[in-house]
Structure 1
Amino acid sequence: MDKNKNSERHLVSILVPCYNEEAVLHEFYRRTVQVIDNIPQYDFQFMFVNDGSRDHTLDIMRELHEKDRRVSYVNLSRNFGKEIAMIAGIDYLTGDAAIIMDADLQDPPELIPEMISWWEKGYQDVSAKRRSRAGESFFTLFIRFCRRCPAYPCSAMSAISAYWINSASTLCA
């Protein structure tokens, strides 16, 4: 965060790639709004990316956009995968920082204030790490991520850099 701009309100963008999320999208939005409405010193924007969903995910995004001026969305023509959806959404963000979250609530919105506090301390990249995931090792999850990232060769550095392509500070929940 730029220390010279402390008197200005900062905009935090929340980027949410979505694929067939109709069952959880309203709850994700409700819980996230509940959290961000209690952080009055920041402005927030939602950027949902519909990654070719075949359910009513896009309809829900349109509904949220109609009732909340902070909500925007991008609709991809087909399913390109989570990583490409994130990159597509990043192109439209206008915030001073971005929080990338999954709509399925595996990333609890309640962590947003803590992540912002780390950003306020001067960290440019903040990430939350799940302590454990039943049945999967870190190595298994990492390899799965590498294989699902078609825009980048499968190496540790190129897979990780897919999350940090934005010139603005990025918070990744």
Structure 2
Amino acid sequence: MQINHKDGNKSNNCLSNLELVTPKQNMSHAVETGLKKGLPGQDNSMSKLTDHEYYQVIDRLVKGASNDEVSKEYGLHPRYVSLIRHKKRLIRIWEKYADATGVSEAPKSGGLSSKIPLDIRVDIIRQLPSKTNKELARMIDVDCSVISNVRYRKTWKDAWDLFDKRSNDHPERE
């Protein structure tokens, strides 16, 4: 057991400011109150890779590798790789990379749209009025939420543009 200073002030030894806690509780309190900050990069015990490996991840992304390729190569989740690509993670390493190479961002990932051919995406859009999201999702092996986003024109904009163009070029006869 340890003695914790509730207000974080080690000089305040008033009995009302002290409490008996486990080491884990004491550490949690220190993190919650900002007395202890997590270590950055490879010095953090939760880090999956070394700073050098993260530098290589950024280099691969800049050179055009997909999130899936990088995630498989380095044992990271594809969404985490996406966060790295968009500088939501590893900002310190991104800054080092930019200083060394002059490149400050990675190209956007093609995402799901690049994996499904345009003609198939247009065909899925054509079937939206007659099929459920679940039926269409099963046809191309994606989550229903993807089809929902397509239905509300939040994604597949290139496919929607082509669909609209084809619809205007060949209007349905009544």
Structure having the higher Rg: 2
Comparing both structures, which one devotes a greater share of its residues to helix?
Answer: 2
Which TM class, normalised by the smaller chain length?
under 0.3
TM-score (ref. length: structure 1) = 0.20
- Greater share of residues in strand: 1
